[in-house]
């Protein structure tokens, strides 16, 4: 097949326009195109009155070799790469142990799935509940303020990504096309076919729930074992080699091959690993607020007269501003047509996140507006200083919100002026359990407040209406990424604990569902090869 990129057509093009564009690009008659399929469809909305669709297409023709030679110097005409996933190993018959995967979010899910598909029959340990029970606990917290510290937005089957927008795109380099493996497994488990080709695919929470259940069933069918409500409380080591784990119920599991895929909020696990001497470093993360606008405002700002077009869907945005005080403010985890959700996993703390369903049909758009901070300048001290800062800010938000899990909030106009909170305007808050209007300048360090106050008017120049007085800020957003990085070598093993494979967001190697899934596959491959080598040398 031949892959064509940058095929641009008007938003309202006719059905046969794609075939005509292929023929024109290759200089052949339309009848010579045997078939084609869409690999990717994006759009260019810089000119709101003339939005273009941008296609990447895989084309089948008889004279493929001749055409590839003819267009050898054209970067937009290339042979379609082989993106089919190929397993790197097969479990040996003399395998004497089973690998263990700690955590069953996107990273642990794909690590376990690939290990199971290679015949290694992994044991998965997840501190939270299975996804439907976890969903009940999470909605119970949002509606009744009853927090279960082991079953919530952060902990449980599916990980934090289950209660998010379900975004499936990433900026990580992926030369081996692991991302395609992630997408194909999701489609096989019930995800919409369109995630194969839209430029910014997403799934939404409710679809993710049923998909995860099907993937779990596949792992079990292949010999894997999944234990819920099972927290790892300790690790065993001998001469720099991991040898096993102690679970929250007191049980011990022996294994010399363990994947750590706990996500960015497993603070007690990070503390335990630090105490045991596993090498880790403090890393930068970001803090800020969730901002809400009417989705119609964002649609109009991004798409103009084409707002509401079903191909374009609900508009998103990505914004960055470099401030006079040297800080950078940026939008993060933008959720079109979504809601702001309570995302704490510890009692007496308030944390926000964003979530959308597949339809993205809620009245508001929301995103995090956050400021980058670093251990060198903002939380010096030991490697766990970032965790302490997160807890301090989240406890402060709990107090500002009234100490009942309501979140502190303030209208954009009042926040920018530094004035006392006034009544809500035309943006209705989506956060549950509820909000308390208050002075958000008390929720973050002064440098962060200064930076966000400078950034919002700057963002308004790119997204008209962004700084409207009735827009709403809700605090705090502190878990943009892990505050620690658990260092690993080229073999994906901890730099000072052999057989221990730190992976995903919690270890500092991913940011989002797709990149976490990709990292889970990489680590599964490295672990499988290590176990094969060990068996061969036995």
CA distance 490 to 530: 13
Q: Over the stretch 361-415, which tens digit does the pLDDT of each residue have?
A: 999 999 999 999 999 999 998 999 999 999 999 999 999 999 999 999 999 999 9
Enumerate domains of the chain plus CATH numbers: 2-79 (3.30.70.2700), 100-281+486-537 (3.50.50.60), 284-477 (no CATH)
Output the pTM of the full model. Answer: 0.95
Res. 538: pLDDT tops 80: no
- Average pLDDT in the 11-37 region? 97
Asked if residue 437 lies in contact with residue 472, where contact means CB atoms within 8 angstroms, the answer is no
Give the chain's radius of gyration (CA, Å): 24
Asked if residue 363 lies in contact with residue 351, where contact means CB atoms within 8 angstroms, the answer is no
- The pLDDT of residue 207 is 83
- Give me the residue label for tokens 């397993």: 87
* Closest alpha carbon to 345 in 98, 158, 172, 151: 151
Q: Over the stretch 265-299, which tens digit does the pLDDT of each residue have?
A: 999 999 999 999 999 999 999 999 999 999 999 99
* Closest alpha carbon to 343 in 130, 509, 123, 163: 163
Residues shown for the chain = 538
- The pLDDT of residue 229 is 97
Mean pLDDT rounded to a whole number for the chain: 96
- The pLDDT of residue 171 is 78
Asked if residue 527 lies in contact with residue 492, where contact means CB atoms within 8 angstroms, the answer is yes
CA distance 17 to 9: 8
- Token representation of residue 153: 């937005």
- Token representation of residue 522: 């990489």
Sign of CA dihedral 465, 396, 330, 171: negative
Burial 27-56 (b: 16+ CB within 10 A, else e): ebeeeebeebeebbbebebeeeeebbbebb
Res. 205: pLDDT tops 80: no
- The pLDDT of residue 204 is 78
- Average pLDDT in the 153-161 region? 93
- Average pLDDT in the 441-449 region? 97
Three-point CA angle 175, 176, 182, nearest 5°: 115
Sign of CA dihedral 86, 87, 88, 93: negative
Mark residue 173 as left, alpha or beta (left: phi above 0; alpha: psi -120 to 50; beta: remaining). Answer: beta
């Amino acid at each position: 097949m031949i892959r064509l990129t940058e095929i641009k057509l008007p938003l309202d093009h006719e059905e046969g326009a794609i075939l005509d564009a292929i023929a024109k690009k290759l200089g052949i008659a339309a009848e010579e195109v045997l078939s084609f399929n869409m690999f990717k469809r994006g759009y260019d909305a810089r000119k709101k009155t003339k939005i273009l669709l941008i296609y990447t297409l895989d084309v089948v023709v008889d004279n493929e070799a001749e055409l590839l030679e003819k267009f050898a110097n054209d970067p937009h005409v290339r042979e379609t790469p082989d993106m089919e996933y190929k397993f790197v190993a097969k479990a040996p018959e003399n395998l004497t142990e089973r690998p263990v995967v700690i955590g069953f979010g996107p990273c642990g899910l794909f690590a376990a799935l690939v290990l199971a598909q290679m015949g290694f029959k992994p044991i998965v340990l997840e501190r939270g509940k299975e996804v439907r029970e976890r969903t009940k606990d999470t909605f119970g917290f949002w509606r009744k303020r009853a927090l279960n510290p082991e079953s919530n937005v952060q902990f449980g089957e599916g990980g934090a990504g289950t209660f998010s927008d379900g975004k499936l795109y990433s900026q990580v380099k992926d030369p081996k096309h692991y991302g395609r493996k992630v997408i194909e497994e999701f489609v096989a488990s019930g995800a919409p076919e369109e995630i194969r080709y839209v430029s910014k695919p997403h799934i939404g929470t409710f679809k993710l729930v049923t998909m995860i259940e099907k993937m779990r069933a596949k792992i079990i069918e292949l010999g894997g074992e999944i234990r819920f409500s099972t927290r790892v409380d300790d690790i065993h080591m001998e001469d720099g080699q991991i040898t096993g784990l102690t679970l929250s119920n007191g049980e011990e599991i022996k294994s010399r091959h363990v994947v750590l895929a706990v996500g960015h909020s497993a603070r007690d696990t990070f503390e335990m690993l630090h105490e045991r001497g596993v090498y880790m470093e403090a890393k930068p993360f970001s803090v800020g607020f969730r901002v809400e606008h009417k989705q119609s405002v964002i649609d109009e700002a991004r798409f103009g007269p084409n707002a509401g077009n079903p191909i374009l869907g609900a508009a998103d945005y990505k914004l960055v501003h470099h401030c006079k005080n040297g800080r950078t403010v940026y939008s993060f985890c933008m959720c079109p047509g979504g809601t702001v959700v309570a995302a704490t996993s510890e009692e007496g703390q308030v944390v926000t996140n964003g979530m959308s369903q597949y339809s993205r049909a809620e009245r508001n758009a929301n995103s995090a507006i956050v400021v980058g901070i670093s251990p060198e300048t903002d939380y010096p001290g030991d490697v766990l200083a970032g965790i302490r800062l997160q807890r301090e800010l989240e406890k402060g938000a709990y107090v500002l919100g009234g100490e009942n899990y309501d979140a502190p909030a303030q209208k954009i106009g009042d926040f920018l002026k530094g004035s006392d909170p006034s009544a809500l305007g035309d943006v209705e808050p989506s956060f549950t359990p509820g909000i308390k209007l208050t002075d958000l300048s008390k929720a973050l360090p002064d440098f962060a407040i200064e930076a966000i106050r400078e950034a919002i008017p700057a963002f308004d120049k790119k997204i008209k209406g962004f700084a409207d007085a009735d827009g709403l800020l809700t605090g705090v957003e502190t878990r943009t990424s892990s505050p620690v990085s658990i260092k690993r070598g080229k073999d994906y093993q901890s730099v000072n604990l052999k057989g221990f494979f730190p992976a995903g967001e919690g270890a500092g190697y991913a940011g989002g569902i797709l990149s976490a899934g990709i990292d889970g596959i990489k680590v599964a491959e490295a672990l499988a090869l290590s176990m094969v080598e060990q068996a061969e040398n036995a």
